[in-house]
Copies of this chain bind each other. A is one copy, B any other.
Amino acid sequence: MMAAMDEQRFPVEQLHGFAARVFAHFGVPAGDADRAAEVLTAADLRGIDSHGVARLHFYAEMFEKGRLNPRPNFRVLRSSPSTATADGDNGLGLVVGPRANDLCMEKAESAGTGWVSVCNSNHYGIAGWYVLQGLPRDRINWSMTNASKLVTPLWGNERMLGTNPIAIAFPGQKEPPIVIDFATCTAAYGKLEIAKRKGAKIPLGWAVDREGRDTDDPDAMIAGGALLPLGADRDHGGHKGYSLALMVDVLSAVLSGANWGPFVPPFAVSYAPPARSVGKGLGHFFGSMRLDGFIDPAEFKRQIDDVVRTLRGTKPAPGTSGPLIPGDPERAAEEERRREGVPLPESVVRNLRDVAARAGVAFE
């Protein structure tokens, strides 16, 4: 694959090492910094470019302003054999999230399943990273997080919910796993930004302007409009996407004691703080289910192989090469990027060099 004119490719190891050095510079212990860098660059590898090193300067800025705790005291507030609620002590979500995910998998060790709700955290990278961790252990892992407001409820005209993603993965035997990871809005904010950069229009159904009218202009959404939930309008199931976003918000934040809905703190320091505080930080929700709590794991994986092959055998829609399996595009991106390097636009490279200079950390 050719890099676009304004893109440069970097080995993922370089980006990983750089991110870890930046986190360590801000006081994150070496082990945590390394793992946080792993989670962050998983986004770059898997082609979810908006969630990878392109965000590093936001993290750096948050540390510089003292808005993130580099050495959080991760505390379990409440627990039962299969559940726990944890307080992330305002640490990096990239540190708090993996720790909660580990706790969830430990709970399942004895109880069959583990479910952990987390408050007082921050952005945790891609939801998909967490569910991939369950696959080699014969687990079905779940991962959700809330996020600062961008999406309007159906029939609303105001940002009230985050893009609140859901991820879950199912291991196969000979076939690759089914890896589901999606935001509960129609289209991710990153896609609007790409359209804006290109001066392109967006499809109707992605967003409304500040008056609540359908718009094909990305700027009209960015300037005070809102994203639409998956389904977009009533006829096409917009109430379903809205329900999913709300479900993620309740499980991640109401259940843990974090901020929910329009009160989730923004990621960037330049945004105005929410109107009020209804909890601590933002929230995540993790689950881990042992396959052998339900069925012989070998039988499960054999059936998943059959499911995957059966779905690949679906008669293709006209003009397509047929259905994909969830996770196919990300796996293809990862293979290509491990081989060829991660393509970064010039603007992101400039940002990284700026972070390097300010933190006194080598980029190369």
Interface residues of A (CB under 8 A from B): 78-85, 110-113, 115, 117, 140, 152-158, 160, 168, 170, 178, 180, 182, 184-187, 203, 205-206, 208, 211-213, 230-232, 235-237, 239-244, 246-247, 249-251, 254-257, 260-262, 278-279, 289-295, 299-300, 303-304, 306-307, 310-311, 314-318, 320-324, 326
Contact = CB atoms under 8 A, between A and B. Distances in A.
Given A257-B295, A303-B278, A155 B212 contact: no
A235 B237 CA distance: 15
B153 A237 contact: no
A324 B154 CA distance: 8
A208 to B, nearest CB: 7
Given A182-B240, A235-B187, A310 B261 contact: yes
Nearest to A188: B237
B239 A232 contact: no
A139 to B, nearest CB: 12
A187 B113 contact: no
Contacts of A310: 160, 261-262
Contact of A254 (B206, B304, B318): B304
B160 A311 contact: yes
A143 to B, nearest CB: 13
A237 B326 CA distance: 12
B152 A314 contact: yes
Contacts of A170: 250, 254
A187 B235 CA distance: 8
Contact of A83 (B213, B247, B293): B293
24 contacts: A80-B111, A80-B112, A80-B292, A82-B113, A111-B112, A113-B113, A117-B295, A140-B251, A152-B317, A156-B316, A157-B316, A180-B247, A182-B237, A212-B318, A230-B237, A231-B237, A239-B324, A243-B326, A250-B304, A255-B291, A261-B310, A261-B311, A278-B306, A279-B303
Contacts of A154: 323-324
A28 B311 CA distance: 38
Given A231-B230, A255-B300, A236 B186 contact: yes
B230 A112 contact: no
Contact of A155 (B110, B111, B160, B323): B323
A282 to B, nearest CB: 15
Nearest to A81: B111
Contacts of A322: 155-156
A307 B311 CA distance: 39
Nearest to A230: B237
A261 B82 contact: no
B85 A237 contact: no
A27 B255 CA distance: 44
Contact of A153 (B81, B153, B289, B311): B311
Contacts of A293: 78-80, 82-83, 115
